[in-house]
Amino acid sequence: MDDYSYAYVIGECGSMKRKTRILCEDDMGTHETVYDNQHKNEEWCRSLVESSANSIYLVDRSCRYLFMNRKYLSRLHIKEDEYQGRSYSDFHSPEETQQFAMKVNHVFETGASIQYEYNDNSGKYFLKTLSPVKDSETGVVTAVTVVSIDITELKRAEKEREQLIKELEAKNDEMERFVYTISHDLRAPLVTIQGFVEMLRKDMIQDKNTTNTEDIRMYLEYIEGGVSKMERLLSETLELSRIGRVTNPLEDVSFGDIVGEALEMTMEQIKSSGIEISLAEEFPVVHVDRMRVMEVLVNLIENSINYMGEQRDPKIEIGYRLEKGETVFFVRDNGIGIDPSQHEKVFELFYQVETNNRGTGVGLAIVKRIIEMHKGRIWIESERGKGCTVCFTLPVVNTCTW
Amino acid sequence: MKEESKPIIILLVEDDESHAVLITRALEDVEVPKRIYWVTDGEEALDYLFHRGAYTDMDKSPRPDLIILDLRLPKRDGQEVLQEIKKSEELRHIPVVILTNSMKEEDEVLAYSNYVNSYLHKPTNFRDFSGLVQEVGAYWLIRNQHPDVGM
């Protein structure tokens, strides 16, 4: 039989009494062979069952194994002669057995097939189809055939897909907010500019001979203020968009080193504001984009300095704590604090607790973006008048030195 | 109609100085005698209204007939100010018009649940902006009938 290239089995494999025709194609043409031998027929069926990549087995009402194919034997780690007299409960947990027994019972009671998903303790997922084997004369269910398909890979892909969709949706939402904020907040200075230009014109028409230079100077200052605000907004927006695109390679670096660099960058402001700095004695090693994390710290330190208020004894503390197995870094100050109602808003693009000429409301949006790029979280713990603590997480390298 | 002799008092709560000047200028064109008091944050607004802090002198902080309120404010935000006003039996009858950059629906919903009298977006074009402010002035200061409670 080596010389044929294709073989088709025609006829119902399951019905043992029927004849089976086999067509063989070879160089000489197509030949037909008819088998009516019951033994041969069974052999074909067995071959089909045994060559299946899925587990196939039969059980009786009490979940005792009547038959199982090779695939299932190998899944249970037993040999062909070892399943006789054993039942489902010998290889599965009581919970699994109970679930299975209920399904088997259901097929026996109703005579209908059922299908369900099942995950075993090793994290594998299976799609099981239970079908009744009926006595050809009485129609009574005598056994249940189980076909179990391993869908672990499918499940994993499904989960991954859902996760990706979620991420994309979040990105899309962020993008929409971003475009909205840009289009909206960037226009606010334009109102100012347009407004004062209009006022200049009006005053010139009404006030032909006496030009109030004081007023004109004021208008021009507002216009200039609007222009430079616009400039800052644009350049910081560009900076924000760079964070996602331009990245430095991640490195293992002591968080303390980054803190040191950030303090160097802000030393002048710290000194001139007379702020006392206290640091944790040692810091964990983090796996980060060093420059970006330094930017985070510089931003947070500057915020602390700017919102110190009338504090006579200004302090900034930089440290970390362990919380539910997670390392939480923090920058804490004893300045004016932030009302809980604004804890989330401050991270929004262009949001400012105070409208002043120092900031544009982009700083904390950048900080948040950087932390999130490192798959970390950032939040604020503060009450008005009680100082402010900004907490964040970063990927920590596990170096067990103790 | 208001009496000619008694100027109408407007409290303007706006932290952006240039916008405050623009609003004031636009209101000047509404032909009704008025005095505009300008404060730059939520806390100052409440100090003014409840005669606290720098505003204990009632003559320097007369009760307003109209409050124009920004939402995004330093110290106490506009929603908090609105809440305090509408909680106060003395103040709740004063019309509060929110004039804000925020286009967030949740801000709008919250403002109305805090009994705001009107909610307006700041137009991003100056002509619309000053037009809107003038409309607000004309409506609340001239057209709208309002008993002078507490006067």
* Cα A249 off chain centre by: 22
Task: Tell me the C-alpha distance between A289 and A268, whole Å.
Answer: 25
| Range A1-28 burial, b when 16+ CB lie within 10 A, else e | eeeeeeeebeeebeeeeeebebebeeee
A184, A341, A355: residue with CB nearest B16: A355
A180, A187, A192: residue with CB nearest B19: A192
Residue A10, chain B, CB below 8 Å: the answer is: no
Report yes or no on A289 lying in a domain: yes
Residue A322, chain B, CB below 8 Å: the answer is: no
Q: Out of A13-17, A57-61, A174-178, pick the least confident.
A: A13-17
- Disruptive mutation site among A187, A192, A346, A360 for chain B (greatest number of B CBs within 10 Å): A192
In this predicted model, what pLDDT tens digit does every residue of A42-82 receive, in sequence order?
A: 888 888 888 988 999 999 999 999 999 999 999 889 988 88
B33, B38, B44, B45 alpha-carbon torsion, rounded to 10°: 50
Name the residue with higher pLDDT: A256 or A361. A256
Q: In this complex, how many residue pairs, one in chain A and one in chain B, have their CB atoms less than 8 Å apart?
A: 60
Task: Return phi, psi of residue B13, to 5°.
Answer: -110, 105
Task: Tell me the C-alpha distance between B75 and A80, whole Å.
Answer: 79
Statement to judge: residues A25 and A105 lie in one domain: no
A357, pLDDT greater than 60: no
Band of residue B54 on the pLDDT scale cut at 50, 70, 90: confident
Average pLDDT of chain B? 86
Chain B: residue whose CA lies nearest to A197: B126
Calculate mean pLDDT across residues B62-76: 87
Chain B: residue whose CA lies nearest to A309: B75
Report yes or no on A134 lying in a domain: yes
A204, pLDDT greater than 70: yes
pLDDT of residue A3: 42
Contact A195 B22 (CB under 8 A): yes
Residue A358, chain B, CB below 8 Å: the answer is: no
A13, pLDDT greater than 50: no
**Residue A374: enclosing H or E segment and its boundaries?**
none
B124, pLDDT greater than 80: no
Compute and round to an integer the Cα radius of gyration of chain A.
37
Report yes or no on A368 lying in a domain: yes
Statement to judge: residues A277 and A130 lie in one domain: no
- Those residues with Cβ within 8 angstroms of residue A364's Cβ, 6 or more apart along the chain or in another chain: A299, A303, A346, A347, A351
In this predicted model, what pLDDT tens digit does every residue of A286-335 receive, in sequence order?
A: 999 998 999 899 999 998 998 888 888 899 999 999 988 889 999 999 98
Chain A neighbors of B16, CB-CB under 8 A: 188, 192, 355
* Smallest Cα distance from A199 to chain B, Å: 9
Chain A neighbors of B101, CB-CB under 8 A: 184-185, 188
Statement to judge: residues A330 and A356 lie in one domain: yes
Report yes or no on A169 lying in a domain: no
Statement to judge: residues A133 and A93 lie in one domain: yes
Chain A neighbors of B121, CB-CB under 8 A: none
| Rounded percentage of chain A residues whose pLDDT exceeds 70 | 86
Domain count, chain A: 4
Report yes or no on A166 lying in a domain: no
Report yes or no on A163 lying in a domain: no
pLDDT of residue B150: 38
pLDDT of residue A355: 56
Calculate mean pLDDT across residues A364-393: 88
The strand pairing partners of A381, in sequence order, are: A389
A184, A191, A195: residue with CB nearest B103: A184
pLDDT of residue B2: 45
Band of residue A149 on the pLDDT scale cut at 50, 70, 90: very high
pLDDT of residue A4: 41
Using N-to-C axis directions, what is the helix angle for B126-137 and B17-28, rounded to 10°?
60
Q: Using beta carbons and an 8 Å cutoff, which residues of B are at the interface with A?
A: 15-19, 21-22, 25, 41, 72, 74-77, 80, 101, 103, 122-127, 129-130
B15, B21, B103: residue with CB nearest A355: B15
Task: Return phi, psi of residue A388, to 5°.
Answer: -135, 135
Contact B80 A352 (CB under 8 A): no
Q: Are strands A276-279 and A114-119 parallel, antiparallel or unpaired?
A: unpaired
**Predicted ipTM of the assembly:** 0.75
A131, pLDDT greater than 80: yes
Range list of β-strands (E), A181-314: 251-254, 276-279, 285-288
Statement to judge: residues A43 and A65 lie in one domain: no
Report yes or no on A171 lying in a domain: no
Residue A337, chain B, CB below 8 Å: the answer is: no
Statement to judge: residues A116 and A208 lie in one domain: no
Average pLDDT of chain A? 83
Statement to judge: residues A202 and A275 lie in one domain: no
**SS3 state at A109:** helix
Name the residue with higher pLDDT: A246 or A93. A93
Band of residue B12 on the pLDDT scale cut at 50, 70, 90: very high
Residue B40 CB-density burial (10 A; 0-12 exposed, 13-18 middle, 19+ buried): buried
Calculate mean pLDDT across residues A101-130: 91
Statement to judge: residues A390 and A259 lie in one domain: yes
Band of residue B33 on the pLDDT scale cut at 50, 70, 90: confident
* Smallest Cα distance from B124 to chain A, Å: 6
**DSSP count for chain A of H helices, then E strands:** 9, 15
Contact B16 A188 (CB under 8 A): yes
Place of tokens 């303090």: A263
Contact B130 A196 (CB under 8 A): no
pLDDT of residue A201: 85
| Residue ranges per structural domain of chain B | 8-143
* Smallest Cα distance from A190 to chain B, Å: 7
Band of residue A22 on the pLDDT scale cut at 50, 70, 90: low
Residue A139 CB-density burial (10 A; 0-12 exposed, 13-18 middle, 19+ buried): exposed
Residue A386, chain B, CB below 8 Å: the answer is: no
Question: For A353, which DSSP code?
Answer: S
A126, pLDDT greater than 60: yes
- Those residues with Cβ within 8 angstroms of residue A338's Cβ, 6 or more apart along the chain or in another chain: A307, A346, A353, A380, A382, A384, A388
pLDDT of residue A38: 67
Q: Which fold has domain B8-143?
A: Rossmann fold (3.40.50)
Q: Out of A324-328, A361-365, A373-377, B81-85, pick the least confident.
A: A361-365
B41, B74, B129: residue with CB nearest A191: B129
Report yes or no on A176 lying in a domain: no
pLDDT of residue B72: 79
pLDDT of residue A369: 87
Contact A342 B21 (CB under 8 A): no
Calculate mean pLDDT across residues A223-228: 90
Answer for the pair A250, A376: CB distance below 8 angstroms, yes or no: no
Statement to judge: residues A190 and A82 lie in one domain: no
Closest to A67 (Cα-Cα) out of A77, A52, A81:
A81
Calculate mean pLDDT across residues B120-140: 87
Q: Out of A49-58, A95-104, A379-388, B46-55, pick the least confident.
A: A379-388
Chain A neighbors of B76, CB-CB under 8 A: 339
CATH number for the domain that contains residue A106:
3.30.450.20
| Range A123-134 burial, b when 16+ CB lie within 10 A, else e | eebbbbebbbbe
Residue A199, chain B, CB below 8 Å: the answer is: yes
Statement to judge: residues A69 and A106 lie in one domain: yes
Question: For A396, which DSSP code?
Answer: B
**SS3 state at B125:** coil
Statement to judge: residues A256 and A393 lie in one domain: yes
pLDDT of residue B104: 75
Query: Measured over all CA atoms, what is the biggest interatomic distance in chain B, rounded to whole angstroms?
Result: 41
- Disruptive mutation site among B70, B72, B102 for chain A (greatest number of A CBs within 10 Å): B72
Residue A234, chain B, CB below 8 Å: the answer is: no
Band of residue A378 on the pLDDT scale cut at 50, 70, 90: very high
Last residue of a domain, one of A246, A267, A283: A246
Chain B: residue whose CA lies nearest to A195: B126
B3, pLDDT greater than 60: no
Band of residue B149 on the pLDDT scale cut at 50, 70, 90: very low
Task: Tell me the C-alpha distance between A297 and A331, whole Å.
Answer: 8
Closest to A363 (Cα-Cα) out of A292, A286, A303:
A303
Task: Tell me the C-alpha distance between A20 and B37, whole Å.
Answer: 101
Statement to judge: residues A39 and A67 lie in one domain: no
Domain containing A141 equals 54-150
Structure tokens at A281: 């004695």
- Those residues with Cβ within 8 angstroms of residue A245's Cβ, 6 or more apart along the chain or in another chain: none
